[in-house]
Amino acid sequence: MEEPRRLEKLQSVVSAVSSRGLLTSDHESSSSSSSRFISDLVLFLVQPCGDLDVESKLVLVSDFIPKVSGRFLDEISRSIQRGDDSKPLNTSSESQKRSVMDNVDPYAAQKAQEDVAMVGVDAMKRANSTLEDFSRSYFMFHHLEVSEPQSIFRYLPVLSFTESYIYQMDALNEKIVRESACESRVNCSSHGWNAGSRVLFETDPLKPLGDVLEREGLLTQRIQQEFESGKEYWALERKLCHALSNKNKICVEDVMRAIHLKSFDYRVLNLLLYKLRGVEVNELHMEFLSVSEFLVEVADDLFDYEDDVLENSFNVLRMFVGIFGPSNAPTELAKRISAAEEKYEEIMKSLDPHLSSNYQRRCEEATKEGGKVSGPSLGTWNIPAVISDEDAYRAAHR
C-alpha cells in the first residue's frame, strides 16, 4: 500500500504545482518529467529534518543550488554507483535510460506481474461496439469472413485487449477534459482510477500496451507511430476543449489534425491484423480506409453534437463554431466534407470491384442501423443547428 499512497501524495503536489503556475512555459514543454521532478523535490522539502523549519530549508537550498554544477552531480552519481557493492551495476541500455525517479514509476506496483497493462470490464464493454464494427467493416480487406467464428476468435484476444486498453486511456482523458472545464479535481477512484493511473497517463499512457505487444512479437514501427498519433490526439483534445471552454483562440489546423488522428485505434487494430496474419500492409487499403475514417468521425460528431457540448468533448462542429462563428461554421465544415468525399470516390475506383461492392454494402447496413458506423454516410449530410452560447445551453440542460 506504500506505493499507491506515495503516488497519491505525488499527484496532489503535481496538481498544486500546476494550478499555481510554478513551472514556466519552457519547463512545461517537458511537462510530465518536469512536474514529477519538481513535485518530488517539494515532497522532500516538506519532510521533517531535525529542528529545521520550512523557511530554514528554503534558505539552505537557495544558498546551496547556485554552487552546484553538473560536473559535481555527475561525480556524486558515479561515486554512489561505485559504492553500491550489494549488486552488480546494470549497464544495459534500458537501465541507462532509467531516471533516478524510478521510485515514482506510475506502474511500479505492477512490475512483478506478467503483463503490466490491464483492462477493466467497463472498458471491455465499451470496446465491444468498436470491435464488432471493425470485424464487419475491416475483415473483408483481409479476406476474412466475419460470419465464420474461427475468423473472429483466432484474433479476438489481441484485438479485444488492445481496444479495451485504449478505451481505458480514452476514458481517463475525457475525465481530464471535464476537469479543465469545471476546474475541479478528477475523481479517478469512481471508475477504478487512482493517482497512479493519472501519473501514468501524463507520462506515457500507451507504453504498457506497447510492452505487451512487443513481448508477443506484434509491435511494429507503424503501430508505434499510431500510438504517437493517439497521444497527440488526446493532447489536442485537452488543448482544444480547454481553449473553447475559456473562449480562447482555436487553430483550424489543430482541429483538422485532431479529427484525422481520432480514429488511430482503428488503424492500430488494422495494422495488428496484418501482423497477426503475417502479411504486408496494403497501402491502398490503408489510404482508402483513412479517408473513410475521417468521414465517419465527422458523421459521428454531427450525430453527437449536443451531447458533446454538454460534456465539453472534442467535436469538429463545436470547434468550427468557435473558429468561424455560428453562421459560417456549417458552410466551412461542408467544404471539408465535400473534399473528403471526392477523395473517397477517387480512391474507391482503384479498389477491387468485389471489395468495393462489399464495402458499399456494409456502409448501407451501418447507415440503416444508425449509431457508430465505419463508412461514410450514404445519404444527405445533416448538420444540426449550431449552439452559439454553450454555457447557456449547459445551464438549461442541467
Q: Tens digits of per-residue pLDDT, 297-332? A: 999 999 999 999 999 999 999 999 999 999 999 999
**Which pLDDT score, from 0 to 100, does residue 238 have?**
92
What is the distance between the alpha carbons of residues 90 and 67, in angstroms, rounded to a whole number? 31
**Which pLDDT score, from 0 to 100, does residue 12 have?**
67
Domain spans, the chain: 2-73+95-110, 124-396
pLDDT for 133-188, tens place per residue? 999 999 999 999 988 888 889 999 999 999 999 999 998 888 888 776 555 444 44
Which band of pLDDT confidence, cut at 50, 70 and 90, is reported for residue 398?
Answer: confident
The DSSP letter of residue 386 is: P
**Which pLDDT score, from 0 to 100, does residue 196 have?**
58
**Which pLDDT score, from 0 to 100, does residue 187 have?**
46
> Is CATH 1.10.600 the classification given to domain 124-396?
yes
Predicted structure pTM score: 0.68
State the average pLDDT over residues 361-368: 86
Q: What's the farthest any 2 CA atoms get from each other in the chain?
A: 82
What is the distance between the alpha carbons of residues 206 and 213, in angstroms, rounded to a whole number? 11
Q: Chain-centre distance of CA 126, in angstroms?
A: 16
Neighbours of 83 (CB within 10 A): 8
Which of 213-222, 361-370, 375-384 reaches the highest mean pLDDT? Answer: 213-222
The DSSP letter of residue 148 is: S
What is the distance between the alpha carbons of residues 222 and 267, in angstroms, rounded to a whole number? 9
Q: Enumerate residues 6+ apart whose C-beta is below 8 A from 304.
A: 313, 315
pLDDT above 60 (res 371): no
Which of 14-18, 37-41, 185-189, 223-227 reaches the highest mean pLDDT? Answer: 223-227
**Which pLDDT score, from 0 to 100, does residue 190 have?**
42
**Which pLDDT score, from 0 to 100, does residue 134 have?**
96
Q: Enumerate residues 6+ apart whose C-beta is below 8 A from 75.
A: none
Q: Enumerate residues 6+ apart whose C-beta is below 8 A from 4.
A: 109, 194, 195, 196
**Which pLDDT score, from 0 to 100, does residue 137 have?**
95
Which band of pLDDT confidence, cut at 50, 70 and 90, is reported for residue 44?
Answer: confident
**Which pLDDT score, from 0 to 100, does residue 100 have?**
33
DSSP code per residue over 252-298: HHHHHHHHHHTTHHHHHHHHHHHHHHT----HHHHHHHHHHHHHHHH
Q: Enumerate residues 6+ apart whose C-beta is below 8 A from 212.
A: 115, 116, 117, 161
Q: Chain-centre distance of CA 157, in angstroms?
A: 21
- 188, 172 Cβ separation under 8 angstroms: yes
Q: What are the Cα distances from residue 215, in Å, to 91, 93, 210? A: 22, 17, 9
Q: Which three cell numbers stand for residue 1?
A: 500500500
